[in-house]
Amino acid sequence: MRVVEFLVWLTDRDRIRHMHSVEKGRVVSFMLQYERHVRGAWCPVVRYDTAHGYAHKDEYGATGETTKTRLGKMSFDEALTYAEDDLRANWGEYGKAFAEVSDE
């Protein structure tokens, strides 16, 4: 199994953590997480992963609430591509809730 991990820096206080595992040319697990630097720490804002055996999205609120959404009947390959596209296109919108609590 091959594991790929890297960071995508969006600004000095916004980044996407990317990890996926591939076996025989297919994605077998992944985690993509948009994080914002708030009050000295990296905080998760939106996370896509396969931690429960299915592809899903977790949205974290600035006050600690979490919303989980299943990605439906996508393969892990399709879900990974969907997650990458969504985070790259919408990270600014997702981060707005955290902008008010940021000290930077």
Q: What is the DSSP letter of 53?
A: S
Give the residue among 102, 104, 4 at the shortest CA–CA distance from 62.
102
The 10s digit of each residue's pLDDT in 15-50 is 999 999 999 999 999 999 999 998 889 999 999 999
Tokens 């989980």, located at residue: 68
As for how many domains the chain has, the answer is 1
Q: Cα(13)–Cα(41) distance, rounded to whole angstroms?
A: 10
Residue 8 within any structural domain of the chain = yes
Summarize the confidence of residues 5-18 as an average pLDDT.
Answer: 96
The answer as to whether 104 is a domain residue is: no
Residue 72 DSSP label? -
- Range of 38's domain? 2-99
Asked whether residue 90 is assigned to any structural domain, the reply reads yes
Residue 77, domain member (yes or no): yes
Amino acid 83 reads A
> What is this structure's pTM?
0.90
Quote the pLDDT of residue 5.
Answer: 97
Instruction: Kindly state whether residue 62 falls inside one of the protein's structural domains.
Output: yes
**In whole angstroms, how large is the CA radius of gyration of the chain?**
14
pLDDT tens digits for 53-86?
999 999 998 777 899 999 988 999 999 999 999 9
Largest CA distance in the chain: 45
